[in-house]
Amino acid sequence: PPNPLLAHLPERDLTTPSGKRLTLVNPAYMNRQVNELGASETGMITHITSLRPLRPENNPDAWETGALQEFEKGTQEVTSFEKINGKDYLRFMRPLRTENSCLECHAGQGYRAGDVRGGISVSIPLTRHQASFIRSLLDEIKVYAVIWFAGVAFIFIGSQQIVRQTTALRGLNETLRGILDHAPFGIYVVEADGKVSYANPAMIRMSGSTIEQFISTNLLELPPYREKGISGMIEKGLRGEYAELNDVEYTSYFGGKTTFRNFSCIPLAGEGRKKALVIVEDITERRHAAEEQKKLQGQLLQAQKIESIGRLAGGVAHDFNNILSAIIGYSELALLKLSEESPAWEEIGQVKAAGERAASLTHQLLAFSRKQVLEMKPVNINDIVDSTLKMLNRLIREDIVFELKLKRPLPNIRADRLQIEQVLMNLVVNAVDAMPDGGSLMIGTDEVLLDEAYARQRSEVKPGPYVMFTVTDTGAGMSREVQDRIFEPFFTTKDFGKGTGLGLAMVYGIVKQHGGYIYVYSEPGKGTAFKVYMPVVSEDVLSAGAAAPEGPMKRGSETVLVVDDDPFIRRLIADVLSPLGYQVLVAEGGEEALRTSEGRTEVIDLLLTDIIMPKMNGKVISELISKRHPEAKTIFMSGYTDDVIAHHGMLEPGLHFIQKPIIPRTLSDKLREVLDHRP
């Protein structure tokens, strides 16, 4: 409807050409219409008011009156929470100032441009907004609750993880501590000032000190550390460099024993300070083991070398003995047929003597190669020394002081008496040759116990009681290089023509064949000592019968089957035995011997057979002949046995043996001994 307050305006009401009727509406009226529309939708109350309203509906309430009064004082806006009809509202009000356009309606009220003529208040109901706020607040609380619970869970899980890590670290620390405490090598930590901040038990044991002594000592200033370069190694570690020292011979400053050690230094960084971790490994036993291994390898090579040469020597001796049998045998037969006045007597005697010297050389080869057959019996070393004194005194010059230091009584050993005499004679001859300008020579005997500790030092030794005899001289002595080769065959330090180089090799072979040991101790300019150890036996020495006077060779009438692959040996034996009354059958080898024995109905009393032959050895021949002629006795002969009838030089029980070269008188004596059942 038209505004009566605008009735003074001539154009308040208009009609358009189309017939529409329009009325002028002032801003206040428009504002009221908008506010009424908004109030229906949002519940918000908008009110234009004034202390001098034109319309009664615009009269202010108490709160608006107070606000309008504040505006007249210059306040620009008023806000507060108030209750309207018992409900909470947020009230807001700003002033309305008079503008020139406003004077059309309000000039009559006395307002001028710029005067406060009223205000617009807005009252917003809080009920809807409180619910929204509460919802938002609850949503935020939920978010914060989730975050809080997640944080609490994270803190809990984190704390559990920290507990587990702490436990693991504690366990790792205990493990590392256990490793360090039980490590077989020394470990310690050196600070920048040279003091030790940690040392494990192994290091304390190696140092020979207490933990307090070791930690309180400045290792960089220790004389042994300076002298051996250990201080310099640690200083490198403190500078951040890895360093090591190997195979250091070290004697502990705190009174420990001398050992060989490896040192390693590893740089460490901690708490802004430089440190060094030192690891010390005692390699003394390893070093000794390596030296022992090297020594054993040398002994093995030496044994292999001697074994190889021994095989060669044994083969050579076998062939030589066959040749020497013919030379010596026929020389002796010739001498038996001649009188001493014969012009040929002396010449044939020289041939025989030369053959015997050559036989002695082959015996040395066999002794060295350990291929000769030994007559092992209980003997006493003191008895052997006593029986050879007369011969020894002839060997020892007047410018040499000779001394005996024999322990009496002395246990017996099991040995071939003649071979032990050879050992003693060779050692004495070597001692005399080592003193061209005179000196002292001593032969001593003693009873010793080689225990486990000694056996560990010399791996070839079996622990037990031994008889030791020693030959000591004050001669020129030997270097280590010479000592390492002294028992090699054909090795000699004597001038050309003054030695064969077989003497000590023979000694070595005899001692080894007896199950003994021989060692040499010598220094250049300080003389030499040879020590021989022989195992003790509990058997008594058998009394030796008096040697029978030499007379005519013993005769017989029995049938003897001779088997040898060497025709000279077969002919020699036939030429020796036939004149003595024996019926001699000869065979070149096993097959011929078997044919000969099978074709005879007469008894074969004795089989005289070589041992080492092609196709069939002497032992097999003897076994086969015994089946045809069980009453036949057997004498084996050989230059060397090759363990066919003997083991380590000792004959199998009940066997008879004669050593080549064949000596006619020795052969005739052996035949009668066996055929007459004499022991």
Residue pLDDT, tens place only, 518-545: 999 998 988 999 999 999 998 776 554 4
pLDDT(344) > 50: yes
Give pLDDT tens digits for 37-46: 566 666 788 8
* Residue, of 47 and 38, whose pLDDT is higher: 47
Higher pLDDT, 184 or 651: 184
Contact 425, 386 (CB under 8 A): no
Contact between 491 and 485 (Cβ < 8 Å): yes
Taking residues 439-465, report their average pLDDT. 91
What span, in angstroms and rounded, lies between the C-alpha atoms of 120 and 130? Answer: 24
In the sheet where 45-49 sits, what is the strand order? 45-49, 116-125, 87-97, 78-84
- Look at residue 74 in the predicted model and tell me its pLDDT: 86
What is the residue type of 309? Answer: I
Residues 6+ apart with CB under 8 A from 320: 358, 361, 362, 365, 639
Residue 416: the pLDDT is: 84
User: How confident is residue 155, by pLDDT bands cut at 50, 70 and 90?
Assistant: confident
Higher per-residue confidence, 138 vs 542: 138
Mean pLDDT over all residues of the chain? 82
Does residue 445 surpass a pLDDT of 90?
Answer: yes
Q: How far apart are CA 9 and CA 3, in angstroms?
A: 10
pLDDT-derived band at 402 (thresholds 50, 70, 90) equals very high
Three-class SS of 159-197: HHHHHHHHHHHHHHHHHHHHHHHHCCCEEEEEECCCCEE
Per-residue CA distances from 214 to 254, 353, 490 (Å) = 9, 79, 59
| Domains of the chain, earliest start first | 4-130 (3.30.450), 183-282 (3.30.450.20), 292-366 (1.10.287), 381-537 (3.30.565.10), 559-675 (3.40.50.2300)
- The secondary structure of the chain in percent helix, strand, coil, rounded to multiples of 5, reads 45, 25, 30
How confident is the model at residue 272, as a pLDDT? 62
**pLDDT, tens digit, 9 for 90 and up, residues 90-128:** 889 999 887 776 666 666 666 777 778 788 888 888 877
Is residue 356 over pLDDT 90? no
User: DSSP 3-state assignment of 624?
Assistant: helix
Peptide bond before residue 60 is cis, with ω within 30 degrees of 0: no
Mark 617-654 as b/e (b = at least 16 C-beta within 10 Å): bbbebbeebeeebeebbbbbbbbbbbebbbeebbbeee
CA distances from 369 to 305, 314, 503 (A): 11, 6, 12
pLDDT band at 679 (very low <50, low <70, confident <90, very high): very low
Least confident of 249-253, 314-318, 465-469, 536-540: 314-318
Helix (H, G, I), strand (E, B) or coil at 215: helix
Range with lowest mean pLDDT among 54-58, 122-126, 421-425: 54-58
Rounded to an integer, the average pLDDT of 316-339 is 80
Rounded mean pLDDT, 277-305? 80
pLDDT tens-digit map of 234-243: 889 888 889 9
Could you report the per-residue pLDDT of 557-613, keeping only the tens digit for each? Answer: 999 999 999 898 899 999 999 999 999 999 999 999 999 988 787 889 999 999 888
Q: Using pLDDT thresholds of 50, 70 and 90, give the confidence band for residue 546.
A: very low
Could you give the strand order of the β-sheet that contains 258-270, starting from the edge strand earlier in sequence?
196-199, 186-191, 273-282, 258-270, 243-251
Q: Among residues 464, 304, 489, 507, which one has the least CA distance to residue 296? A: 304
* pLDDT of res. 335: 83
* Confidence label for 473 from pLDDT (cuts 50, 70 and 90): very high
As a whole number of angstroms, the distance between CA 495 and CA 535 comes to 36
Sign of CA dihedral 317, 323, 326, 328: negative
3-state secondary structure of 130: helix
Give the pLDDT confidence of 603-627 residue by residue, as tens digits.
899 999 998 888 898 899 999 999 8
- 223-261 b/e (C-beta count within 10 Å ≥ 16 → b): eebeebebbebbbbbbeeeebebeebebebbeeeeebbb
Phi, psi of 535 (to 5 degrees): -65, 140
Q: Supply the pLDDT for residue 528.
A: 94
Tokens 């009064």 label which residue?
69
Rounded to whole angstroms, the Cα distance separating 528 from 466 reads 21
User: Which pair of tokens denotes residue 259?
Assistant: 């050992």
Q: Which range in 27-31, 104-108, 127-131, 505-509 is most confidently predicted, on average pLDDT?
A: 505-509
**Beta-bridge mates of residue 198:** 189
pLDDT of residue 547: 44
Torsion of CA 477, 483, 486, 487, to 10 degrees: 130
SS3 of residue 449 by DSSP: strand
* DSSP string for residues in 70-87: HHHTT---EEEEEEETTE
pLDDT at 648 over 60: no
Better pLDDT: 316 or 410 = 410
Residues 6+ positions from 432 with CB-CB distance below 8 Å? 395, 396, 397, 400, 441, 473
Task: Quote the CA–CA distance of 393 and 380 in Å, as a whole number.
Answer: 20
Task: Determine how many CB atoms are found less than 10 A away from the CB of residue 512.
Answer: 20
In the sheet that 633-638 helps form, which strands lie side by side, from edge to edge? 583-587, 559-563, 606-610, 633-638, 657-659
